[in-house]
Amino acid sequence: MSRIAYVNGQYVRHADAAVHVEDRGYQFADGVYEVCEVWQGKIVDVPRHLDRLGRSLNELRIDWPMARNAVKFVLHQVVRRNLVRNGLVYIQVTRGVSKRDHFFPPAHVAPSIVVTARSSSPTAAKAQAEQGISVFSYPENRWPRVDIKTVALLPNVLAKQNAKEQGGKEAWYVDADGNVTEGGSTNAWIVTKEGVLVTRPAESGILRGITRAVVLDLVQKEGLTFEERPFSLEEAFDAKEAFVTAATTVVMPVTRLDGRIIGNGHPGSVATRLRELFHTATDLQAV
Catalytic residues: 149
Asked whether 37 and 247 are in contact (CB, 8 A), the reply is: yes
Q: Using CA atoms, how far apart are residues 1 and 82, in angstroms rounded to an integer?
A: 8
Taking the alpha carbons of 150, 154, 159, 164 in that order, is the dihedral positive or negative? positive
- Strands 31-39 and 187-191 turn out to be unpaired
The continuous run of DSSP H or E covering 113 comes out as strand 112-119
Cα separation of the two ends of the chain = 19
What does the DSSP 8-state code read for residue 141? -
How many C-beta atoms lie closer than 10 Å to residue 23's C-beta? 20
Q: Using CA atoms, how far apart are residues 7 and 18, in angstroms rounded to an integer?
A: 7
Half-sphere exposure of 102 (CA within 13 A, CB side): 0
Nearest to 287 by CA among 53, 78, 87, 51: 78
Nearest to 134 by CA among 115, 154, 109, 160: 160
What does the DSSP 8-state code read for residue 97? B
Nearest to 167 by CA among 60, 50, 258, 76: 258
